[in-house]
Amino acid sequence: MAEKVRQEETEVAQYEERKIVILPRHCKGCEICVLLCPASVLEMKDFKAHVARIEDCTECMLCEIRCPDFAIEVYQSGKKGKAK
């Protein structure tokens, strides 16, 4: 197992098997994840990304793949929420 190098303070949101983790120390508040999310799951709070509606997450991974700062992780459950 690789040494955990990014496990400082985290903000964890959980809905059934789905989990979204934000690493506030890495987040630079660029809003890319918030603006690209097709289901409005994410919001800005104190200049950082924040998980507001995890139940709606479609598990598309857009936010994780395009976060330039290794600051958001989506653990899929296999059950998709509804994009609005």
Partner 1 sequence: MTFNYDEYIRPGKLPHIWCPGCAHGIVMKSIIRAIDRVGLEKDKTVIVSGIGCASRMPGYVDFNTLHTTHGRSLAFATGVKMADPELNVIAVAGDGDALAIGGNHFIHTCRRNIDITMIVFNNNIYGMTGGQFSPTTPHGRLASTTPYGNPDYAFDVVELSIGAGASYVSRSTAYHAIPLERQIADGIAHKGFSVIDALCTCPTTYGRRNKLGNATEMLMWFKDNTVGVKAAEKMPPEKLEGKILTGVFKKEEKPEYCDEYAKIIERVSAKG
Inter-residue contact 20 to 74 (CB < 8 Å): yes
Record the tokens describing residue 34, joined without a space. Answer: 């918030």
- Contact flags string 1-30 toward partner 1, x per CB under 8 A: -xxxxx------------------xx-xxx
Q: Which is nearer to ligand SF4, 1 or 7 (CB)?
A: 7
Nearest alpha-carbon partner for 20 in 42, 1, 44 = 42
Among 19, 72, 75, 82, binds ligand SF4 (CB under 6 A): 72
Q: Which is nearer to partner 1, 6 or 79 (CB)?
A: 6
Residues 35-64 that bind ligand SF4 (CB under 6 A): 37-39, 41-42, 49, 57-63
Inter-residue contact 71 to 50 (CB < 8 Å): no
Phi first, then psi: give them for residue 66, nearest 5 degrees.
Answer: -105, 10
The answer to whether residue 83 forms part of the interface with partner 1 (CB under 8 A) is: no
